[in-house]
Structure 1
Amino acid sequence: MPTHTSKLADTRLWFGELGIDVGFAFFIGQTGDNQSHAHWAHQCIVRLDQPLSLFNAGVRFQDDAIFVPAGVEHRLIAPRHLSLFFDPTSRLAKALCDHLNKPLSVQTLPQKIADFFRAALTQANSSQDLHQHCLSYFKHHRMASTSDPRLAIILQRIHQEIGAENTKRSELAQQIALSDSRFSHWFHEQTGMPLRSYRKWLRLILAFKSILNGSSAIDAAHLAGFSDQAHFSRTFMAMFGVSPHSLLPNLTLKNGSAKN
């Protein structure tokens, strides 16, 4: 339920477990200090302990389960909770949005979906397990809307180039017989974000996984194609509302999470 407010003091540290799969991730734990931020993933936040609070555009939402669309600025204060992150280009994300009245707005997550996420968490031993539970659930209830078949072609090429030199936008446009300007509009229509933002998000996730698997921040930044560690840190802060050195030391990869 939304209420207007200003700020809520919070001095707790981040800690918890993280699982990452292709186009999907989850976090189980507690939030610490964080600034208003916007990441390029749909987020479902489910209470596991005390009530959670989310701040968006001067409004405070307090609920047991909240949906935050990709690209929407917010700040989260939550005791132990489950956050699930869905790449908006994925079939799973599209199926999830089919179950929401206004998938472009912050809103209460339907009770039956929140209950499913809690139950699935007790049955999953890894991010892959939880991902498969989600796929099975949404496939059973409703099939996702059909995407433009050209999108899969473009996304495959983009994913293959993470951390390497990127194909120019004009070349991607030519691959599916669109002009440069039309391609920009088309990609935004299909994914909800600009091409540059999506590529930056994928690089950030690659660096994130690399650090959790033991790489130094500077090595991870270079692996993911950031110009330097400072560039990586600025991007990380903008998308997660906290610096890498404040968040990552207290996170552990859940057993069975993707290592590549």
Structure 2
Amino acid sequence: MATPKNFLHLWDDRFLYITPAIQSGLTARSSATVLASVSGHPFMLEAADGTRTYCTAAVVAPHVARRLAVEGCGLLSLNIDPASVAYRMLSRQLGGHGIQVLDARRFGRLREGFEPAQAGALDDAALQALSRGLVETITGSPERPTPNDPRIERVLDAIRHRAGAVSLRELSAVACLSPDRLTHLFAQQVGVSIKRYALWTKVRRTVQQFTGQRPLTDVALTSGFTDAAHMSRTFKSYFGLAPSFLAGKVEVRADEQASQAWGHGAAPMHS
């Protein structure tokens, strides 16, 4: 029997990691995360205070530390960008809670796609539909486009397409807002600070580059990290996985929108 693979499917506002097993240390990241057991058997989810829960599904808010132990049941880990509509829907559902434990049976017919997804048998359209279905089942409402303030959209675009640090002064010019007003409006609209979103963007841009075969040092520098060691430390704190594991042990797939939104090149700033 073939050994089950690890898959990473990238879209512009989310990505789906599918793995047969994972043992992670304490990790936290800027995305909201939906976790679901593939087989329906429980996995272990441990909060930062040491509280352990054995569950079949959960939602984890951004920057909430947790440990995972998944053995034998398989896992879908759907990571939602904090600037997306889906994130705002999940944030309302969490209601300020860091971790919300769920029963995977609530996903109903969607669960029929879990094992084919783990086997790599679903095409991109089916996987996108599955990811939307997970969010909509949890929140009880369909995803409808509700764009951010256009000034914040310009700032998000500037951060995403600029490798390395972007100063608050530059971003304020992009938004035509004072630094204080931009800081407040960004946190209100996106749910995380500009600094945290900028770091998340580095990580997300880096993940995008694993669709090709590039030296890790080149990937790190292109994404704005000081070196490969800095990139590796950040990845381990975010995902519990080294970039070398993602590059060598995970089949990474990205659609065209993800490539456009999180491509390799850095775009110039526009005021």
Which residue does 2:17 correspond to in 1?
Answer: 27
Tell whether the 8 Å contact from 1:208 to 1:220 is kept in structure 2 after alignment.
no
Distance 1:112 1:156, change over 3 A: farther
Which residue does 1:61 correspond to in 2?
Answer: 53
Amino acid paired to 1:156: D
**Residue 159 of structure 1, CA deviation:** 1.9
- Aligned residue pairs, count: 244
Tell whether the 8 Å contact from 1:20 to 1:127 is kept in structure 2 after alignment.
no
Please, which runs of 5 or more residues in structure 2 have no aligned partner? 264-271
Amino acid paired to 2:122: N
Distance 1:166 1:117, change over 3 A: farther
**Residue 134 of structure 1, CA deviation:** 4.2
Tell whether the 8 Å contact from 1:46 to 1:83 is kept in structure 2 after alignment.
yes
Q: Deviations over 1:128-180 (max 9, x none)?
A: 5433454477499345666434322221222222x2x5542123224434322
Tell me whether 101-110 or 49-58 shows the greater mean CA deviation: 101-110
Tell me whether 26-35 or 59-68 shows the greater mean CA deviation: 26-35
Please, which runs of 5 or more residues in structure 1 have no aligned partner? 1-13
**Residue 126 of structure 1, CA deviation:** 4.1
Identity %: 23
Tell whether the 8 Å contact from 1:39 to 1:72 is kept in structure 2 after alignment.
yes
Separation in structure 2 between the aligned mates of residue 97 and residue 113 of structure 1, nearest angstrom: 19
Which residue does 1:172 correspond to in 2?
Answer: 171
2:100 pairs, out of 100, 107, 111, with 107
Tell whether the 8 Å contact from 2:16 to 2:78 is kept in structure 1 after alignment.
yes
Distance 1:200 1:107, change over 3 A: same
Tell whether the 8 Å contact from 2:23 to 2:70 is kept in structure 1 after alignment.
no
Q: Deviations over 1:180-217 (max 9, x none)?
A: 23322332222222212211211112222323421121
Question: Within the alignment, does 1:243 sit opposite 2:233 as a pair?
Answer: no
Which residues in structure 2 correspond to 1:90-169 (within 5 Å)?
A: 90-98=84-92, 100-102=93-95, 104-109=97-102, 114-115=107-108, 117-119=110-112, 121=114, 122=116, 125-127=122-124, 129-135=126-132, 138=136, 141-142=141-142, 147-161=148-162, 163=163, 166-169=165-168
Distance 1:146 1:73, change over 3 A: same
Structure 1 SS opposite 2:172: helix
CA RMSD of aligned residues (A): 3.1
Which residue does 1:5 correspond to in 2?
Answer: none
Distance 1:154 1:41, change over 3 A: same
**Residue 110 of structure 1, CA deviation:** 6.2
